[in-house]
Amino acid sequence: MEDSDMTLANQLCFSVYHASRLFTKFYQQALQPFELTYPQYLVLLALWEADRQPLHALGEQLDFGSNTLTPLLKRMENKGWLTRQLGASDHRQLIIQLTEKGRTSKTAIFQAIRLCITQQNIDPERYQSTLKQNKELITALEKLLD
Amino acid sequence: MEDSDMTLANQLCFSVYHASRLFTKFYQQALQPFELTYPQYLVLLALWEADRQPLHALGEQLDFGSNTLTPLLKRMENKGWLTRQLGASDHRQLIIQLTEKGRTSKTAIFQAIRLCITQQNIDPERYQSTLKQNKELITALEKLLD
DNA sequence: GTAAATTAAATCGTACGCAACCGAATTGGA
DNA sequence: TCCAATTCGGTTGCGTACGATTTAATTTAC
């Protein structure tokens, strides 16, 4: 790649970065009624898929360390989304489990996001294609960072 | 929109988020010798393209507010990358200009990043295609946030 | 059986992002 | 001309991200 192509607009890194921040902004708008941040919503997504996980397992799915998750989960516990309990067999583990509120809110939260999204009509095929390319990008980046 | 499409939307947002964080990690590795963070590198990219801009113009390119840029630019000033001077005609403006170091480091920084990247062979067509799709995604997201 | 190595979570320090707010400088209309 | 609205940078407060370190619990190696 030539130096002349190294403009901000031509940088894939900036484009991804920009898109990511717009997603954050969009979701924070949609999630505002629930007093949820975007990363907190990602935690809920992971738990809706598999409840009752130790912290480090959650961190693997989201690629977060304990230094990020610990304060985030404490805030979510305070708001009543989940519980944090020491593992019965292994006291080093902290088992994260959804509360009743955490479980039952799924429908309402999806509904709210759906409402925000469907105001625009987004082409599902375009979505699929972008998702596929991003996954390839992630694979490539992970190789760069091995 | 069906629940299955919600899954798609959720996957895409997480994928973009994940890719963005991997980029940050990669660049922080590559930029470490220069004591530059990733957002600071983005500022340099913008200034290499157009030096001597007021803060708010820089913010428009990067989609950053003064609350993000002010401390970031102060740190960059302290490290000798750029200068911050009040505008001559308009005293509200803060003109950001590269120092000699900021200008001349471009080659070395590009070289260092290139070195990290070319260890992998990245397909330029795939790069362009992903860039294009991300830009479309950004357009769609900006519509959602108008 | 116990000291060493390993693993898990928490803590610390630094640097973003961003909403909300503030104060100074400038501008534009009455 | 004069003052109200706007523009610009800065400040504050909160919530991530993440490298590095610390502390506590468990596993292992001898």
pLDDT of B106 above 90: yes
3-state secondary structure of A115: helix
Distances (CA, A) of A37 to A25, A33, B138, B146: 10, 10, 20, 20
Interchain contact, A1 vs B63, CB within 8 Å:
no
pLDDT tens, residue order, chain A (146 aa): 667 778 898 899 999 999 999 999 999 999 999 999 999 999 999 999 999 999 999 999 999 999 999 999 999 999 999 999 998 889 999 999 999 999 999 999 999 998 888 766 677 787 888 888 888 888 888 888 87
Q: Which domains does chain B have, with CATH numbers?
A: 31-144 (1.10.10.10)
Q: Closest nt to B25 (CA→C1')?
A: D18
Query: Rounded CA gap, B39 and B43, in Å?
Result: 6
Higher pLDDT, B2 or A36: A36
Contacts of B134 in chain A (CB under 8 A): 12, 15-16, 18-19, 130
Q: Tell me which residues of chain B, numbers 24 to 63, contact chain A at a CB-CB cutoff of 8 Å.
A: 24-27, 29, 38, 42, 45-46, 48-49, 61-63
Q: Separation of CA B66 and C1' D10 in angstroms? A: 8
pTM of the complete model: 0.92
